[in-house]
Chain A
Amino acid sequence: MQSLLSIILLFPALGGLVLLCVPNSQTRLIRILGLTISFITFVLSLLLWVFFDHSTAKFQFVNAVDWLPFLNMHFYIGIDGISLFFILLTTFLVPFCLLVGWDSVQKNVKEYFIAFLFLESFMLAVFCMLDLLLFYVFFESVLLPMFLIIGVWGSRERKIRAAYQFFLYTLIGSLFMLLAILLIYFQTGTTDLQVLFVSEFSLQRQLLLWFAFFASFAVKVPMIPVHIWLPEAHVEAPTSGSVILAGVLLKLGTYGFVRYSIPLFPEASVYFTPLIYTLSIIGVIYASLTTLRQIDLKKIIAYSSVAHMGFVTLGLFSLNIQGIEGALFLMLSHGFVASALFLCIGVLYDRTHTRLVKYYGGLVHVMPLFSVFFLIFTMGNLSLPGTSSFVGEFLILVGVFQTNPFVATFAATGMILGGAYSIWLYNRVVFGNLKPFFIDTFMDVNRREFFIFLPFVFCVLWMGFYPEVFLEPMHTSVANLVQHGQWRG
């Protein structure tokens, strides 16, 4: 069982290498093989949940392999309650990404499947890496397959611009983190996370290092004002690219905050808390208002993602158990809800080849099943009680209210604005009259799409009605993180 995590980590990449040997003409074999590999990875990752010990905050399923032993750097992996569900979210989403592209991706099919399988391995590595330098390596390596997915399988001419924007924004931010890692290495002589957890940095050094990490993570979250790449990337990416972007890649930044910035630099985290709060509130309110003005379906969901991630950063820097657990829960919930909404938009785009809201209306008359699915995910997006997002946002508000009621009051307006843009979007697309002069032939969801949506509905409602299943495994690790910090004294 100890090597289970290594197997999960390597399996998709090895599967990608196997696909390399399959001739390009065998597209059906490539599709079935790719889907099977990703599905087996998901099943294996479920075993992590089954055998995960909830009672300890220690890293589990730990594996270490010498990488650069003369530099005291090791390929060191393990998971705790914080990273467990991000592994599961990643392995859950990838098979659906492959299924979404089943018919719509017709060119470079083999490369598409290989890109996704390597991307999966890289993302999993980020979530379970316990070495700072290797975390950076995999954090950056995610850019390559994603750059190709947007640039090659994107939908329009602006895709190249969007791919470059995505690549450059995140790369420039991350260079500061590399410098910070070098500084940490030269001070402590190691990049082993477990050793770094018990190392102490002076306040001045913490401030410098925290800001360098922040420059990298803030771009990835994305926080305002470095969010511009996200709507562009979403609009130009294929549906599967948007799903993985919203579902997993945005979480890499917030995961970085909770795994590295907060425990390694606790005093600096307190020092910069008002900055994070200010950027988060602006993110929540500004992005929500911007969402109201958008006319492209994907941009609406993209900007609402910026608003939700603003909530997440608020929760993380509340630096208490409720806030951090709420943030982790909302990250997980957003992974399901936003991904499902992008799938809904993908269903419409596959049929009509447009994402402009003005062309749509009255879909409830001709696409009733689609309208039901879209309703459930829209309700999830506006944090309706009974859906997953409500639990996350409620816990975050509880956590933030304990530390700063002024900030919590502003953050709460985000929930109201979320309701406004979500209901208005649903109203414009689904209700009202049909617009036959724009679109006159309609087709409801087919069997493949129906079975893609069903697990997402199940997860959104399960997390909403019985969140304890997800909160309980993360509780010990979050409590340990809060106790570890020095902000409490």
Chain B
Amino acid sequence: MAGSDPTSVKPNQFVELHGHAREVVEKTFKFSPRTLGVIGIFGIAVPYLLYQGCVNEFHAADDKYNRERKKFM
């Protein structure tokens, strides 16, 4: 497609390769201790902490206004 008419981009092989590598993440991604650690932290620990923080905030509000604590998942 590129380069077919006068206004088209003149492709640069380094830019194209970089773009391609970023696109096919499913082929370039490798499981390693580092990536597993990142998945553990940002995929499990952080969401869990956010969830607990959110629930604690709801419970704190219920306690403050002397309401029965809401039940959550």
Contacts and interface: CB of A to CB of B under 8 A. Distances in A.
A440 B19 CA distance: 21
Contacts of A354: 2, 8-9, 11
A356 B55 contact: no
Contacts of A438: 9-10, 12, 15
Contact of B9 (A286, A359, A403, A407): A359
B72 A273 contact: yes
B55 A274 contact: yes
Given A356-B15, A438-B12, A275 B7 contact: no
A406 interface: yes
Contacts of B42: 286
Contacts of B30: none
Contacts of B7: 351-352, 439, 441-443
A382 B70 CA distance: 35
Nearest to B3: A353
B73 A271 contact: yes
Interface in B59-73: 61, 70-73
A353 B4 contact: yes
A404 B62 CA distance: 11
A42 interface: no
B45 interface: no
A279 B50 CA distance: 9
A278 B15 contact: no
Interface in A238-280: 270-275, 277-279
B27 to A, nearest CB: 12
Nearest to A272: B73
Interface string B36-69: 0000001000110011011111100100000000
Contacts of A271: 70-73
Contacts of B61: 403-404
A351 B9 CA distance: 8
A275 B51 contact: yes
Nearest to B70: A270
Interface string B1-33: 111101111111001101100110000000000
Contacts of A442: 7
A404 B58 contact: yes
A263 B53 CA distance: 26
Nearest to A225: B43
B8 A407 contact: no
A356 B21 CA distance: 13
Contacts of B72: 271-274
Nearest to B42: A286
Contact of A353 (B1, B53, B56): B1
Count chain B CB atoms within 10 A of each CB in A156, A295, A356, A441 and give the residue with the most. Answer: A356
Contacts of A270: 70
A270 B4 CA distance: 56
A302 interface: no
A358 interface: yes
Interface in A398-444: 403-407, 410, 437-443
A150 interface: no
Contact of B8 (A273, A352, A437): A352
A406 B54 contact: yes
Interface string A348-372: 0001111010110000000000000
A128 interface: no
Contacts of A316: none
A296 B19 contact: yes
B32 to A, nearest CB: 19
A282 B6 CA distance: 44
B73 A275 contact: yes
Contacts of B11: 354
18 contacts: A274-B51, A275-B51, A281-B50, A294-B22, A296-B19, A353-B2, A353-B8, A353-B9, A354-B8, A358-B15, A359-B9, A403-B58, A404-B54, A404-B58, A406-B53, A437-B10, A439-B7, A439-B10
Question: Closest 6 A-B residue pairs measured CB to CB?
Answer: A406-B57, A354-B9, A274-B54, A278-B51, A351-B7, A352-B9
Given A273-B72, A354-B2, A442-B7, 5 more contacts: A156-B1, A274-B54, A274-B73, A296-B19, A441-B6
